[in-house]
């Protein structure tokens, strides 16, 4: 099946680098008045309209009112969860902090209780609604974490739901095991027993059933220590799982050094960064990932993304879609907020949300840019003046259509 898209106002994000580093992120290559040829769900060809040679196509679509860019690559989400935490949102408005709510048994443990009480079918149904929602907002590849189960049974349930979503939707999904998201209340005084459960009981079953691509740990004061994080990264590695870590969200306790030294794929959050953390990142290949919607929702600092890019590091942007700190999976808002609050240029923000997001999921050979052979995942915009209008005119929906694996969804 050959599908030709003609007269594209501007084709955006032409690039065959697997990741863009520092000042490279400023460049966003485009072709005005372009065509795009899609064959069997992949990009077969593209170029200027004037270079299009006459041949037969099965289908032709005129895109003369659209800018076309790669679908978003959201490398950090927790979209499999049960219910919501709307009450905690109101509690925060009334003066409690995220930390105070967590200390009262709210937060992650509240979501874990709800998830444990929800059957697998219902959990799948609620999660599929969120996945469909983010696809409509332009997301074509997504990472989804477990971590609201916190028992072997419930963590496996979450990961099976992710597997089913993978099988049933035309979106590329990577699964991450985040059993180390919080210490369940019943392990309060014997946290080592919970770490043993993660390593000796959960990990082997997850690996055996091939339910995860990565392992994650919430390395943070009050959650998991640096030593525990290292232990879990090493255990994951024995089962072939690289790590993607939650670090430096509220405090800088040394998680970044551990991540770089143990070859983590990404370090995510980074709202609180010390100069030595940035220095450490420049020595390794670990990708920093910023989550501006989380900063927005919790009123915590924004990741100093400008400093990271100016230190010649790559940066990826993701949503962190979850019930507690970021009940939003809108990558368009993430891109706009990165420009408005973190001083990224539109080019840097789009690159961070596409090719660098793909790199943070090891998907940049197939996703995240316009290049021959890559998966035909695109956002077709409404009739806007330029791609910079996407973050400028924040909060509006500028997407006319989304194409995933060569089909409009
Ligand atoms: O990425 N920081 C840890 N985990 C999630 C939020 C957890 C929650 O509140 O449910 C995050 O922000
Ligand atoms: Fe998260």
Feature table: binding site for N-formimidoyl-L-glutamate = 148, 322, 324
For ligand 1, is residue 330 a contact (CB within 6 Å)? no
Quote the pLDDT of residue 22: 98
Q: Which of 322, 326, 329 to mutate to test the pocket of ligand 1 (most atoms within 8 A of CB)?
A: 322
Nearest CA to 209 out of 237, 175, 251 is that of: 175
Q: What is the pLDDT of residues 7-29, one digit of tens each?
A: 999 999 999 999 999 999 999 99
Residue 348 lies in a domain: yes
Percent of the chain at pLDDT > 90 equals: 97
Quote the pLDDT of residue 102: 87
Distance in angstroms (rounded) separating the CA atoms of residues 398 and 191: 48
Residue 70: pLDDT above 80? yes
Residue 105: pLDDT above 90? no
Q: Please check whether residues 117 and 221 belong to one and the same domain.
A: yes
Domain CATH for 6: 2.30.40.10
Q: What is the pLDDT of residues 193-252, one digit of tens each?
A: 999 999 999 999 999 999 999 999 999 999 999 999 999 999 999 999 999 999 999 999
Residue 112 lies in a domain: yes
Q: What is the pLDDT of residues 282-341, one digit of tens each?
A: 999 999 999 999 999 999 999 999 999 999 999 999 999 999 999 999 999 999 999 999
Please state, rounded to an integer, the average pLDDT across all residues of the chain.
Answer: 97
For ligand 1, is residue 328 a contact (CB within 6 Å)? no
For ligand 1, is residue 248 a contact (CB within 6 Å)? no
Task: Note the ipTM here.
Answer: 0.96
Percent of the chain at pLDDT > 70 equals: 100
Residue 263 lies in a domain: yes
Q: Please check whether residues 116 and 105 belong to one and the same domain.
A: yes
Span from the CA of 147 to the centroid of ligand 1 (angstroms):
9
Q: Is 87 in a helix, a strand, or coil?
A: helix
Beta-ladder partners of 388 = none
Residue 406: pLDDT above 90? yes
Q: Which residues contact 243 (CB under 8 A, 6 or more apart)?
A: 214, 215, 216, 217, 232, 233, 236, 237, 259, 262, 264, 265
pLDDT band at 342 (very low <50, low <70, confident <90, very high): very high
Distance in angstroms (rounded) separating the CA atoms of residues 385 and 301: 32
* CA-to-CA separations, 385 to 13, 66, 67, 342, 390, in angstroms, rounded: 17, 10, 9, 23, 9
Q: Please check whether residues 232 and 116 belong to one and the same domain.
A: yes
Domains: count for the chain? 2
Domain CATH for 127: 3.20.20.140
Quote the pLDDT of residue 56: 85
For ligand 1, is residue 323 a contact (CB within 6 Å)? yes
* CA-to-CA separations, 90 to 97, 115, 202, 298, 329, in angstroms, rounded: 11, 21, 35, 12, 20
Q: Please check whether residues 65 and 96 belong to one and the same domain.
A: no
For ligand 1, is residue 320 a contact (CB within 6 Å)? yes
For ligand 1, is residue 85 a contact (CB within 6 Å)? no
Q: Cα torsion at 235, 238, 241, 246 (round to 10°)?
A: 20
Residue 352 lies in a domain: yes
Residue 137 lies in a domain: yes
Q: Please check whether residues 96 and 180 belong to one and the same domain.
A: yes
By DSSP bridging, strand 266-269 and strand 242-247 are: parallel
Q: Which residues contact 346 (CB under 8 A, 6 or more apart)?
A: 28, 335, 339, 387, 388, 390, 391, 392
Q: Please check whether residues 85 and 66 belong to one and the same domain.
A: no
Q: Which of 146, 181, 267, 296 to mutate to test the pocket of ligand 1 (most atoms within 8 A of CB)?
A: 181
Residue 46 lies in a domain: yes
Q: Please check whether residues 64 and 178 belong to one and the same domain.
A: no
Distance in angstroms (rounded) separating the CA atoms of residues 403 and 70: 9
Q: Please check whether residues 163 and 205 belong to one and the same domain.
A: yes
Residue 64: pLDDT above 90? yes
Q: Which atom of ligand 1 is nearest to the CA of 324?
A: 9
Residue 97 lies in a domain: yes
**For residues 129 and 329, is the Cβ–Cβ distance under 8 A?**
no
Which residues form the domain of 132? 73-359
* CA-to-CA separations, 294 to 14, 105, 298, 328, in angstroms, rounded: 30, 21, 6, 9
Span from the CA of 76 to the centroid of ligand 2 (angstroms):
6
Span from the CA of 299 to the centroid of ligand 1 (angstroms):
14
For ligand 1, is residue 349 a contact (CB within 6 Å)? no
Distance in angstroms (rounded) separating the CA atoms of residues 185 and 94: 25
Q: Please check whether residues 78 and 18 belong to one and the same domain.
A: no
Q: Please check whether residues 283 and 205 belong to one and the same domain.
A: yes
Distance in angstroms (rounded) separating the CA atoms of residues 388 and 349: 10
Span from the CA of 108 to the centroid of ligand 2 (angstroms):
11
Q: Please check whether residues 242 and 389 belong to one and the same domain.
A: no
Q: Please check whether residues 172 and 303 belong to one and the same domain.
A: yes
Residue 364 lies in a domain: no
Average pLDDT over residues 65-91: 97
Distance in angstroms (rounded) separating the CA atoms of residues 402 and 409: 6
């Amino acid at each position: 099946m050959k599908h030709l898209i003609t007269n594209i106002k501007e084709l955006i994000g032409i690039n065959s680098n697997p990741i863009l580093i520092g000042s490279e992120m400023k460049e966003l290559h485009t072709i005005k008045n372009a065509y795009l040829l899609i064959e069997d769900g992949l990009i077969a060809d593209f170029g200027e309209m004037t270079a299009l040679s006459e041949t037969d196509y099965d289908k032709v679509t005129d895109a003369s009112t659209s800018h076309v860019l790669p679908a978003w690559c959201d490398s950090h989400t927790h979209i499999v969860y049960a219910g919501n935490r709307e009450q905690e949102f109101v509690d925060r408005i009334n003066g409690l902090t995220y930390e105070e709510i967590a200390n009262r048994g709210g937060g992650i443990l509240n979501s874990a209780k709800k998830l444990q009480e929800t059957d697998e079918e219902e959990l799948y149904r609620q999660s599929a609604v969120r996945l469909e929602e983010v696809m409509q907002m332009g997301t074509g590849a997504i990472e989804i974490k477990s971590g609201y189960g916190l028992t072997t049974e419930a963590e496996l349930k979450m990961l099976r739901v992710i597997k089913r979503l993978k099988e049933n939707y035309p979106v590329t999904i990577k699964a991450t095991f985040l059993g180390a998201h919080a210490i369940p209340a019943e392990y309060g005084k014997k946290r080592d027993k919970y770490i043993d459960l993660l390593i000796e009981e959960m990990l082997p079953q997850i690996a055996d059933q091939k339910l995860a691509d990565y392992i994650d740990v919430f390395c943070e004061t009050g959650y998991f220590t640096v030593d525990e994080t290292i232990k879990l990264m090493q255990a994951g590695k024995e089962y072939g799982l690289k790590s993607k870590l939650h670090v430096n969200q509220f405090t800088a306790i040394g998680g970044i050094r551990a991540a770089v030294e143990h070859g983590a794929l990404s370090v995510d959050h980074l709202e609180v960064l010390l100069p030595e953390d940035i220095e450490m990142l420049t020595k390794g290949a670990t990708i920093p990932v910023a989550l501006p919607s989380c900063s927005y929702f919790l009123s915590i600092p924004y990741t100093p993304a400008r400093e990271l890019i100016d230190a010649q590091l790559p940066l990826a942007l993701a949503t962190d879609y979850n019930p507690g700190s970021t009940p939003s999976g809108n990558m368009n808002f993430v891109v706009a907020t990165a420009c408005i609050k973190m001083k990224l240029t539109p080019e840097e923000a789009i690159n961070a949300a596409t090719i660098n997001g793909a790199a943070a999921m090891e998907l940049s050979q197939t996703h995240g840019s316009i290049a021959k052979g890559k998966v035909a995942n695109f956002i077709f915009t409404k009739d806007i003046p330029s791609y910079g209008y996407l973050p400028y005119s924040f909060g509006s929906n500028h997407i006319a259509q989304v194409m995933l694996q060569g089909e409009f969804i």
